Structure 1
Amino acid sequence: MSLLSSEFAMKDLDPLSYFMGIAVSRHPTGIFLSQSTYASEIIERTGMASCKPQPPLSTPSRNSAP
């Protein structure tokens, strides 16, 4: 950090929780990144919030006949 701050103007802020549409969560086993909020915003913006979710057509079904 000191090496970077000697070259660039920097401030030490609170721990990162959200950056460029990505939610950041720290856990004992590592860091978890999620874009669920961003995906929800896209669904709302495109007017698809009331649509029912469906699996993709390419998902093979075990019960389908060849």
Structure 2
Amino acid sequence: MKVGKPAMRQLDTAGKKHVVSECPLAGIHLEQGIARLAGDAPKPERVGHPIVLMARAYGVTGE
């Protein structure tokens, strides 16, 4: 969590709708860190892998 804190802060203030990561563990840690920083503020949705987000954007569903 200590190493990822700068990334968590950037994601928290960026106002993005989604957070993606190639690494499943990093994605979970980012989500946890954003939740701690944001408190009750709206949080971005975590999408497991960037390819999943691309598939959603192009209307390809496999879930």
TM-score range, shorter chain: under 0.3
More helix by share: 2
Task: Compute the TM-score of the two structures, normalised by the length of structure 2.
Answer: 0.23
Task: Compute the TM-score of the two structures, normalised by the length of structure 1.
Answer: 0.23
- Of the two structures, which has the highest relative contact order with CA contacts closer than 8 Å and spacing of 6 or more? 2
More strand by share: 1
Higher Rg: 1
